[in-house]
Structure formats: C-alpha cells, structure tokens
Amino acid sequence: MSKHISTPASKERSPGTTGRWAHRFFIPLSCALLIVAIVVPWMAHAAGGEGGFDGVVDSIAHEYHVHATRIPFMGLASLVAGAATHGGVGRVRVAEFEHFSAAVDGEDLNRMVEEKLGQGWERMIRETSRRGNEQTLIFDRPEGGRMGLFIVDLDGTEMDVVEVSVDPNRLQETIGQYRHRDHGDDDTND
C-alpha cells in the first residue's frame, strides 16, 4: 500500500476552485440579465406603453380579434436587403393577419395607428375603398439621412403591417441599375 505524500511542488488545484468563482459571479449575473430581459418588456406591455411596430400589431390583434403572424428571420432578411441595395433598405419588419373578417372603420384604424406609432410619424397616404374592405395607410418619418416608412394594408381578408428604413439616394441608385432603356437610347437591336 503506497501513500501519496503531497508536497508544495506536486500540489494540484483542488477540483472546483475555478468553478466556485465562476459559479459565484456568472450564474447570478446570468439570472439577473434573464430577469431583466423578461420582466422589462412584460411590464411595458402590461402598462400599455408599447408603441411603434409591436404596439400597432398588438393593438390591431386585440381590437379586431385576429392573430398576427410575424414573419421569421426578418433580421436576416434585413441584412440581405441592405447588402443587395447597398444600404438602400434596412430594418424590415413584417406582420401578417390572415382571415381578417372584421369590419374596419378607416377613421378608427387611422387613429389607432397614429396613437401607437407616436411622435415623428406623419401620414402620407390614406386610401379606403367604398366598402371599407381595402384600406392603405402609409406613414413616414425622417431618420437622419434615412427615411422610415410604416405601411398598413388591408386587402380583403388579409392585412399586412410593414416597417422599413430606406436611404432614398442609395435606393434610387439601386433601382436605376435595373431600369430598362428606351428603345431610342439602345444602340443594339433586339
């Protein structure tokens, strides 16, 4: 039977020394961040203080008793759109309401959207069909060198809500690349 004698040179760290430090620091910090990430948005929503895109979508869902489908991976789509348009389009958010059967009063819808969007947004277009089953609201706001657009479009039984940020100059350059020339300007015959 051999006995292990511990000397200062052969002393190994006891298991868990590093783990205790990490356990004392990282786990409480992670829990605190998780609580903040869950509680703060919930409190804002419960207080009715939510505005902007989410506020409009939630208000429409509540008012007309419909379910919104938020299009997944829009962050990735925003990156792709930004790259494809060289920064002309960014921050794309989309929600869709299918099977929209409630009657919509254009004044009420406009008022609800204006209240939830908040300051800085200005309505550019409001179009309502005679029967009310087709409605379009388009708002804009300046965002430095960019412009924010917010669109609510009801077409029969489907409503789409879209928010996008555009750089008008970059977008015009990108669109210009795909413009067809007039036949008089073209040197080649098709």
Residue 190 pLDDT: 43
Q: How many CA within 13 A on the CB side of residue 46?
A: 6
pTM for the whole structure: 0.64
Q: Of the ranges 63-72, 98-107, 173-182, which one carries the lowest mean pLDDT score?
A: 173-182
Q: Of the ranges 14-23, 87-96, 102-111, which one carries the lowest mean pLDDT score?
A: 14-23
Neighbour-count burial of 136, counting CB atoms closer than 10 A to its CB (0-12 exposed, 13-18 middle, 19+ buried): middle
Residue 152 pLDDT: 96
Band of pLDDT at residue 153, cut at 50, 70 and 90: very high
Residue 139 pLDDT: 96
Phi then psi dihedrals of residue 127, to 5 deg: -130, 130
Q: What is the mean pLDDT of residues 54-70?
A: 93
Token code pair at residue 12: 């190994």
